[in-house]
Amino acid sequence: MKKLYLAIALLISAIVALAGCTQSQQSSEVPTLTVAYLPTDHHAALFVACDNPDLFKNNYGIYLKAVKDKEAYELYKGDKKIADVKVVKVTEGGASIMNLMTQGQVDVALVGNPPVIFYIDKGTDAKIIMNLHTEGSAVVVRKDIPVNNWEEFVNWIKEKYKEGKQVKIGHPLPTSIQYVMIKDALKAEGITFTEDPNDKDAMVLLMNCKGQGTMPQMLAQNQLDAVIAWEPTPEIIENKGVGKVIAYSENLPSTSGGKWTDHPCCCLAASGDALTKKREAVITFAKILKDATDELNKNKELAVKASVRWLGTDEAVERDSIAHIKFDYRLEPTIPQVIKFVEAMKLQGLMSGKLKDASSEEAENIIFDLQTYNEIME
């Protein structure tokens, strides 16, 4: 009987020990951080961080170790593994990324400010935690159109209208920065526009290209007269001999006066769930993007080479493209400009939820997580 009791006691001890071991293993498991990005050199900081682990390990003590190129990485701080990082390319645009975040499929997003704003307004639990860059888009016209700048293009649109012809301008997606900016610029110039192909009374028909991949072909086949696009598509179109850049986004007029100089474009956004449950991973990942931005600003060739590898573009295209992007992670100078986007989106009827009647101060608190930003900057 004593032997039986001893055997039972040993069995129970083994089960408890095994349970404790399993619990310890589970508690030590690192989170998986799902990061979405767009195929644009606006997100060169991500490409540089992924492609140069030794640089960041030696200089900053934070680095990404490749598991599967362009798809899976391990995030380290010193010798400590912080997270598994799943990198997801989304080709359709920022709205698609934010839709995935709303569904809980994306934790962190490299994405344009307007899509984040639009989805936050609709109730998505997300915050902007860092800036990525400013500027970096352009208006491109077909090569046969006899204009060379924005003013000439505006006059050409008016001339075509007098002839009874409607000018067609393509944009990537509704709620994209490019969509918001072209509508604002046309309005500032007194150019009427529509998105209804049956409405022939407006001077301009704005066409949703559902991304930017078809833009060169649509220009070449005369389906469009012009496009507004993020880099490097404008330089790709010029390089193909299909069109020519007539205005970079920072030179477009604004309905609030002046131009869109130093306008914010892409940011780093995080879901509320990730900020709560995967906080260390989110902040550490943001820090490496910050470090990558510092490095590529010291050496733009890092951005050129990494973008060529990730996007499959030519080096000449990337050198022209990178020259028109100002990489800057700071939120302080960009917050007022983001609020300017909010006001433009209100005027365009894109705000119908929590931001519709929000003051500038309220909008700032709704959109940004400055506590997390300050932790990233430490």
Same domain, 245 and 351: no
Burial (CB < 10 A; 0-12, 13-18, 19+), residue 160, is middle
CATH number of the domain within which 219 lies: 3.40.190.10
Same domain, 114 and 217: no
Same domain, 58 and 95: yes
Per-residue pLDDT for 14 more than 60?
no
Q: Is the residue at 46 inside a domain?
A: yes
Q: What is the pTM of this model?
A: 0.89
Q: What separation in angstroms does the CA of 60 have from each of 112, 130, 135, 277, 301?
A: 27, 19, 28, 25, 20
Same domain, 240 and 293: no
Last residue of a domain, one of 199, 216, 251: 251
Same domain, 109 and 53: yes
Q: What pLDDT, on the 0 to 100 scale, is given for residue 175?
A: 84
Per-residue pLDDT for 6 more than 80?
no
Same domain, 154 and 228: yes
Same domain, 106 and 155: no
- Its domain, for residue 272, covers 31-134+263-377
Last residue of a domain, one of 251, 277, 312: 251
Q: Is the residue at 2 inside a domain?
A: no
Same domain, 365 and 308: yes
At 343-363, the pLDDT tens digits run 999 999 999 999 999 999 999
How many CA atoms lie within 13 Å of 162's alpha carbon, on the beta-carbon side? 6
Last residue of a domain, one of 202, 229, 251: 251
Specify the number of domains making up the chain.
2
Q: What pLDDT, on the 0 to 100 scale, is given for residue 282?
A: 98
Same domain, 64 and 144: no
The CA-CA-CA angle for residues 73, 78, 81, to 5°, reads 40
Q: What pLDDT, on the 0 to 100 scale, is given for residue 92?
A: 86
